[in-house]
Structure 1
Amino acid sequence: MTLRAHWQARTLRWLQQRIPPSRHYSLNLKSVFIFPSWFGWGYLLMCGCLFILGTNYQNNLMLLLCYFLLALMLITLFTSYQNFARLTIRATPVKPVYAGEPAMLALMVRTDADEKPVHGQIEVTWWQQPAPLTVDLDSHPPHFSLPYVTQTRGIIKLPRVTISSLFPLGLYRCWTHLDFQQTLTVYPRPIPCQVTLYPEDDEGSDTSSEQPGHDDFYALRGYQVGEPLQRIAWKNIAKGGDWVSKTFSQPQRQTGCLRMSGGEPVETALGKLAFQVIALSEQGAYFGLHLGHIKVPLGSGDAHKHQCLCALARFPGLGAVP
């Protein structure tokens, strides 16, 4: 472990104790950090130069200007903290995405009704990541989303979110690192392929049959008393034939289980299975999923689709499928 990685791990452990994970934060003295910005350090250097010049030349106006600037910086210290500490931040659960798609962490920023509103801009970014999202608290709606770029499938614990502000004069930087206890499920990237269903007990080709329905004409049969009149074959009766009624059929839903194909890289096989799960769910098929010791029973619907995709996201292993 490098020195930088060791320092980051130690910092995260310290933050875990100081700012515990939560879905909702009201910032306070314990969770807010404040320090002069680069501009603030330059400001202090300028005040030091004014003090030296005023003392050397015994110029009271220059000394008065130095003291005034220092007093302004001291007042800004309290103003910056009070403005930032009024923030209340809440996160909503992040939705699963496919590998390569950005996940969106929805955040809501507000203040208590009995407090003054928060002013200025805040910068929101992930822990030690560049390209922050800038939010104007005076004109921006209280809801915004922070994107998280995904590359590989799996169950990812999202890092801490860094929120900072330079309000009002940029002399101080207030910031905090918040852990919203968000776990992101990243599904495998779908790879187009042919859909293949196997019976639960034995591998084979997928099957489908006809069942009674109302989609396609199937055959004529003898009329039975009480059947709907719209099913009677009136043309046959008009020609002097017997009373018969029309029967219809519709294809039976596909049933079976999805299995991993052998001889392929694991990620490729999982991507193909993800595509088949999506395709079968759109068709309303009744299917299951077998991934070695991981088995998802037969089912259908949106909840079943996400259950199968979650099983694919959690599947371990690298290399090729035996």
Structure 2
Amino acid sequence: MHGMLQRLQAWAEGRLPALTRYRRSENLPIELHRRRIYIVPTGFGLGFSVLLLVMLVGALNYANNAALLLVCLLGAASAASMLVAFRSLDGLRLAHIRAGHAIAGEPIELTLAFDSSRPRQAIRLDLGHASTAFALDANATTANVKLTLPTTQRGWQALPRLRVWSSWPLGLFRAWSWLHPDPSVLVWPRPELSGPPPHAVADDARHLRLHQGDELAALRDYRVGDPQRQIAWKASAHHHSLLVKDFEQPQSRPHWQLDWRQLHGMGNEARIARLARWLGEAQAQRRNCSLWLPGTDIPAGSGPLHYARCMNALACMP
């Protein structure tokens, strides 16, 4: 039975490529052409066709040449609008897709780059229930379209098929095509809401040494032996005694060692959620942290790039 279905699918791919192509993912770039663009009249177009038919019957019945000429002109305009709607999509190309970062359960922002060799008007892109319009004018041959994709769980999430369509210029016909890009987006795990702090290498208290540094800590009374360059002359002018500037320089804080093996007795998803929370706290505190996962050892670091690298590693955990 399975072999019969495969043969049927192979036959359909060969005989009806335009009808079955949208069900298979495609590598970028994807270019639209005449074999994958469909055209149907809209509801307004059907009503307009009925109106033209009634006008044609009346013009022929009463032998009214002016009415007959009007019907012919409107019919020609309708046919021309069908061609323009087709040309709005013909040759349009989806060049690449960029995805932002998102935690599971939150929408992720997608940026789709379309390009074309000629201007295009009133094109719409649908992704599920979300829809947006864009155009390519003569001065810009590339349009960046932003959409949001809902996420449910961490890991790689395939992009759903997209529908690009246009009913420009008169709204009588709708031309559309399906896009099923191959790239997937990586969704980060959702951190746990609360829990114990991570294990630090040493005591994590902030130690300050008051001495010649870069940041002003406070003003104090002058003591014998203080250098004159540290005297706050302007502040001392409004005070009954000399004031001296004290500077502080924070000592480097020990980094956090986030280790998968330290969370024994917890399930995989619970471990991932706790490590994600610790990574978020380290990022918020601008603290160095290292991450050890089965098969992955990320050295200590800090900053957005280090945080993204660690979260990507957590998202790819089986």
In the alignment, is the contact (CA less than 8 A) between 1:124 and 1:132 conserved in 2?
A: yes
Tell me which of 199, 209, 222 is aligned to 1:216: 209
Residues 154 and 249 of structure 1, relative CA distance in 2, 3 Å threshold: closer
In the alignment, is the contact (CA less than 8 A) between 1:288 and 1:298 conserved in 2?
A: yes
Deviations 1:177-204 (A, max 9, x none): 223433211112233435644xxxxxxx
Residues 265 and 38 of structure 1, relative CA distance in 2, 3 Å threshold: farther
Moved >6 Å (runs of 4+): 262-265
Q: Give the C-alpha shift of residue 132 in structure 1.
A: 1.0
Q: Give the C-alpha shift of residue 62 in structure 1.
A: 3.9
Query: Normalising by structure 1, what TM-score?
Result: 0.66
In the alignment, is the contact (CA less than 8 A) between 1:76 and 1:168 conserved in 2?
A: yes
In the alignment, is the contact (CA less than 8 A) between 1:193 and 1:276 conserved in 2?
A: no
Q: Counterpart of 1:20?
A: 26
Alignment of 1:222-261 (within 5 A): 250=251, 253-259=254-260, 261=263
In the alignment, is the contact (CA less than 8 A) between 1:209 and 1:251 conserved in 2?
A: no
Q: Does residue 134 of the first structure (1) align with residue 168 of the second (2)?
A: no
Q: Give the C-alpha shift of residue 156 in structure 1.
A: 0.4
Q: Give the C-alpha shift of residue 152 in structure 1.
A: 2.5
Query: Normalising by structure 2, what TM-score?
Result: 0.66
Which one-letter code corresponds to 2:82 in the other structure? L
Q: Counterpart of 2:308?
A: 306
In the alignment, is the contact (CA less than 8 A) between 2:201 and 2:256 conserved in 1?
A: yes
Consecutive unaligned residues of structure 2, counting only runs of 5 or more, are 1-12, 212-223, 227-248
Q: Counterpart of 1:289?
A: 292
Cα distance in structure 2, aligned partners of 1:27 and 1:310:
33
SS of the equivalent of 1:14 reads helix
Deviations 1:266-291 (A, max 9, x none): 6554333211022234543342233x
Cα distance in structure 2, aligned partners of 1:272 and 1:305:
15
Cα distance in structure 1, aligned partners of 2:62 and 2:144:
55
Cα distance in structure 1, aligned partners of 2:165 and 2:139:
16
Deviations 1:95-141 (A, max 9, x none): 232123322221334432xx4x223x121121xx2241123556997
Which stretch shows the higher mean deviation, 152-161 or 294-303? 294-303
SS of the equivalent of 2:80 reads helix
Cα distance in structure 2, aligned partners of 1:310 and 1:286:
15
Q: Counterpart of 1:277?
A: 279
Which stretch shows the higher mean deviation, 271-280 or 60-69? 60-69
SS of the equivalent of 1:125 reads strand
Percent identical among aligned pairs is 23
In the alignment, is the contact (CA less than 8 A) between 1:195 and 1:276 conserved in 2?
A: no
Which one-letter code corresponds to 2:129 in the other structure? P
SS of the equivalent of 1:155 reads strand
Cα distance in structure 2, aligned partners of 1:265 and 1:140:
55
SS of the equivalent of 2:251 reads strand
Q: Does residue 83 of the first structure (1) align with residue 88 of the second (2)?
A: yes
Which one-letter code corresponds to 2:125 in the other structure? V
In the alignment, is the contact (CA less than 8 A) between 1:21 and 1:178 conserved in 2?
A: no
Which stretch shows the higher mean deviation, 102-111 or 35-44? 102-111
Which one-letter code corresponds to 1:98 in the other structure? I
Cα distance in structure 2, aligned partners of 1:262 and 1:49:
79
**What is the root-mean-square deviation in Å for CA atoms of aligned residues?**
3.8
Cα distance in structure 1, aligned partners of 2:34 and 2:290:
54
In the alignment, is the contact (CA less than 8 A) between 2:30 and 2:94 conserved in 1?
A: yes
Cα distance in structure 2, aligned partners of 1:266 and 1:135:
43
Cα distance in structure 1, aligned partners of 2:116 and 2:296:
47
Cα distance in structure 2, aligned partners of 1:111 and 1:253:
53
Which one-letter code corresponds to 1:187 in the other structure? W
Consecutive unaligned residues of structure 1, counting only runs of 5 or more, are 1-9, 198-204, 219-233, 237-247, 317-322
